[in-house]
Chains A and B, each alone.
Chain A
Amino acid sequence: MFSLDVPAVPYADPWLLPVSARLAMLHQRRGAKRVAYFYEEPNNSTFRYRAYNMAQVLNESGVENVSASYFFLSDSERFDEIADAADVLVICRSRYCHRINGLITRFRSRRKQVLFDVDDLVFDTDYAHLVMATLGLDLTQAGVWDDWFAMIARMGQTLRLCDGAITTNDFLAQKLADYAGLPVAVVPNFMNREQLALAEKVYAAKERMRFTGDGKVCLGYFSGSPSHRLDYAIVEPALIEVMAERPDVEVMVVGYIDHGPAMKKFAHRISRQPFHDYVNLQRLLGTVEFNLMPLQSNAFTDCKSELKYFEAASVGTLSIASPGFTYRHAIRDGENGYLAKAHEWTEVILKAVDRSSANYGTMAALARQDALAKFGWQHQAEAILTALQIA
């Protein structure tokens, strides 16, 4: 584990601005194309990646002829104003309702472009059962079926009202095209300015210590939510074998994952961390040697973005991942991380741990370089403008 001399930073959600300020953002450049992102209500995950980060790039990366802002359902009284001001509307992963239909209708009646942005396979009810099963939901509850089918169908309905779609990877793009018959563009998820600022400090601290930890090797599982229980189950038997074989290996679990009974004997080598805000999470990620990213293999998980890989890479932490569609394209096994099929986790973790003293720094540098080049906010303007069809 790396003991970092980087203090936690005070954090407040930077997107919590009054609607007047967000409308002003839209108007900040005279004569510019104006892009309005819409999400039901702000949050730390999809909204941050697909609306807040996009607006940040358009407003701050030196593109002179575009300005952008973001809006929510709570802004519905200002929808006419937004439709008058903006040239393009991007509806991010929102469930159909009368207000969203109204917003889209306003844009279309003004002959303005409306796009749908989605980062998960949650618009086609043919996949609803698979999604629910993958998330390990309690399928004995009728309400669970109602909720998920309704949610997914409502997403699909919003998508069908749009002129095109934007998503996070080619696999999901194909699913969108198959479902809606619309043109689809890809803009990956990426790290924003705040995230990268702290990542830079964390990486510099690790470089100063020449990637030398405290003599223990820490494997981190950053779960995000309890819905990753079945993903974690893929790696837990390997963790048990590795911990039994290597007394210097420790595990850090972040989030709400319950261990199986066989992990109890290693309780003194397992640490737990609560959820962190996304900026300080970078600091925590930087303390572990390896970031474990097991995923069940199916169409739903093939739609996941690279975010767990690049967030770890940006702070010089190596990832070990299931070779689903996204990770096998992001990770070059043995160069900037490791890939482990479901039956290979023990072998791959041991290999990674054994090699770590020899080449950790080199691999970490490669991973960070790759992550910044592909998933840093500074390099996304072109992809975003192309997707918005205003390049």
Chain B
Amino acid sequence: MSVRGRRFIEFWQENGTRAAARLIREKLGDAIAGRAVFSKEDDESNAESVPQLRARRFISQQALDVYTIPRPSVPRISLVTDSIGSESLFGGVGTALLFSAQLANQMNATLRVVTRTEVPSPANAWQILNAYGIQLQQEIQFAFAPLKRDEIDTPPVAEAVPGLDIHPEEIFVTTSWWTTAATLPSVPAASIIYLLQEDERMFYPFGEDRVHCERVLRNQDIRFVVNTRLLYDHLMATGLTHLGRNGFWFEPAFPKSLFHPRPREANGKKRFFFYARPNNPRNLFQIGLGIIDHAVNEGILDLEQWEIFLVGKDIPHVKFGAGYTPHRCEGLGWEAYADLAGTIDLGLSLMYTPHPSYPPFDLAASGAVVVTNRFTNKQDLSGYSPNIICAELETRALLDALRSGVAIANDRETRHRNFATNGLGTDWTLAFADVLRALTAGR
């Protein structure tokens, strides 16, 4: 089937027969009127302007289409993110929602969730806020500001979307360099708070994406809220010194109501967790698989005593050692993920960036031991939990760390003592308190 045919079927499935019929009618109308029905990219007469070409290459930076309304009596915080779909909610997006909700409460403001790639799901927002016991003081609003990808994604109905109403003094919380880039042309830079949860420059090879990312990160007028002191220090040390003036940091929290050890079967096998995201290069999926395979072959992970869980997304079928097939866990909801984390004894979670990432914290907060890698100033995470072991990104070092991890996991007393001295925060309200105070001071 042609690409166009496949896209049409996807459009039909997503939007229903009525919308598909309308699209066909419009195309027929175009054909009858002698207008171009489909764009012909290889046709010189349809050559694109430079701005058009650029817009198509950098779709995610497409500026928010906005219009101004008079200032309402209640202020508003708009959270701009790609999606709050179930698969996007872990980690960063969840944190952004919690941060924005608490900022909204601090300012007695309405919270608006603006998504760009997927229609926002109110139920998902509720799931997160409910899981963390956050009650919004004012109403929550949802808005879809879709990216216009091409003709099939942009039937006239989507063009008729009125844009995003904004008002003077509205605060925008952006969640990535590209949502920040998309927001910057549409609102005053000073109204943007960029929730920065990774050194996003590291997502790219040296090229145009990285340049655009760096430009946003070097913006002197927006405010930055950085997830962890470690990442903040790294960003400052790598040229983003303006964060000393307009940047703040917080440490994430892991509420005991969600993250805690779960009751286990008395004589069941021990459980090993691997954070498995093959399509996120920074999670070093293949390296991790290799380490586990070594550990199984060397008997560090004795499969008579251990069962292995791969937790993540798009996980391929894989076997370890002499043919052991691990459990594959994808698309877990928050509660199910926390329930699983609460049963884990040892984890391996790699992150080839300065941020510790969430899975090591989730596991340590749930009573597990976890091995992760060192990177720049990320050398020792024992301040967060003595049950987090940091190792150089070398096979032998990681295997040694796993061996130590197995020993602690099997040593009930040490493991529990370590767990008891965790330095991880447990309350999101406390986690954001200083940052929120600083952001709202003088308002």
Residues of chain A touching chain B, judged by Cβ–Cβ distance below 8 Å, are 124, 126-127, 129-130, 132-133, 138-140, 174, 234, 237-238, 241, 258, 260-261, 296-299, 322-324, 341-347
Give 7 nearest A-B pairs by CB, closest first.
Answer: A133-B162, A261-B16, A343-B122, A343-B126, A297-B139, A343-B125, A130-B69
State whether the Cβ of B245 lies closer than 8 Å to any Cβ in chain A.
Answer: no
7 contacts between A and B (CB under 8 A): A126-B69, A261-B16, A296-B141, A297-B110, A299-B72, A322-B139, A343-B125
State whether the Cβ of B440 lies closer than 8 Å to any Cβ in chain A.
Answer: no
Closest residue to B139 on the A side, CB-wise? A297
Chain A residues positioned under 8 Å from B16 (CB to CB): 260-261
Chain B residues positioned under 8 Å from A347 (CB to CB): 126, 130
Whether the Cβ atoms of B18 and A324 lie closer than 8 Å is no
Chain A residues positioned under 8 Å from B162 (CB to CB): 129, 132-133, 139
Alpha-carbon separation in the docked complex, A365 to B69 (Å): 41
Chain A residues positioned under 8 Å from B73 (CB to CB): 174
Q: Min CB distance, B333 to chain A, in Å?
A: 14
Chain A residues positioned under 8 Å from B159 (CB to CB): 140
Chain A residues positioned under 8 Å from B160 (CB to CB): 138-140
- Please tell me which one of the listed residues B69, B123, B126 contacts residue A127 in the complex, with CB atoms under 8 A apart: B69
Given contacts A139-B160, A298-B165, A342-B140, contact A241 B123 (CB under 8 A): yes
Residues of chain B touching chain A, judged by Cβ–Cβ distance below 8 Å, are 15-18, 67, 69-70, 72-73, 110, 121-123, 125-126, 129-130, 136, 139-142, 156, 159-163, 165
Chain B residues positioned under 8 Å from A344 (CB to CB): 122, 126
Q: Min CB distance, B74 to chain A, in Å?
A: 9
Chain B residues positioned under 8 Å from A129 (CB to CB): 67, 69, 162, 165
Q: Min CB distance, A233 to chain B, in Å?
A: 9
Whether the Cβ atoms of A237 and B110 lie closer than 8 Å is no
For the complex, would chain B's binding face be called helix, strand, loop or mixed by DSSP majority? Answer: mixed
Chain B residues positioned under 8 Å from A299 (CB to CB): 69-70, 72
Alpha-carbon separation in the docked complex, A133 to B139 (Å): 19
Q: Min CB distance, B33 to chain A, in Å?
A: 17
Greatest chain B CB density within 10 A among A138, A323, A342, A343 is at A343
Alpha-carbon separation in the docked complex, A133 to B143 (Å): 12
Greatest chain A CB density within 10 A among B15, B16, B122, B129 is at B122
Chain A residues positioned under 8 Å from B67 (CB to CB): 129, 133
Whether the Cβ atoms of A342 and B142 lie closer than 8 Å is yes
Q: Min CB distance, B138 to chain A, in Å?
A: 9
Whether the Cβ atoms of A345 and B139 lie closer than 8 Å is no
Alpha-carbon separation in the docked complex, A4 to B70 (Å): 47
Given contacts A140-B156, A342-B139, A342-B142, contact A133 B123 (CB under 8 A): no
Chain A residues positioned under 8 Å from B136 (CB to CB): 341
Q: Min CB distance, B104 to chain A, in Å?
A: 12
Alpha-carbon separation in the docked complex, A139 to B158 (Å): 10
Alpha-carbon separation in the docked complex, A139 to B161 (Å): 7
Whether the Cβ atoms of A133 and B165 lie closer than 8 Å is yes
Alpha-carbon separation in the docked complex, A366 to B126 (Å): 29
Greatest chain B CB density within 10 A among A129, A238, A323 is at A129
Greatest chain B CB density within 10 A among A127, A261, A322 is at A261
Alpha-carbon separation in the docked complex, A261 to B21 (Å): 14
Closest residue to B72 on the A side, CB-wise? A299
Given contacts A138-B160, A297-B139, A342-B141, contact A127 B70 (CB under 8 A): yes
Greatest chain A CB density within 10 A among B67, B110, B140, B162 is at B162
Chain A residues positioned under 8 Å from B142 (CB to CB): 234, 342-343
Chain B residues positioned under 8 Å from A346 (CB to CB): 123, 126
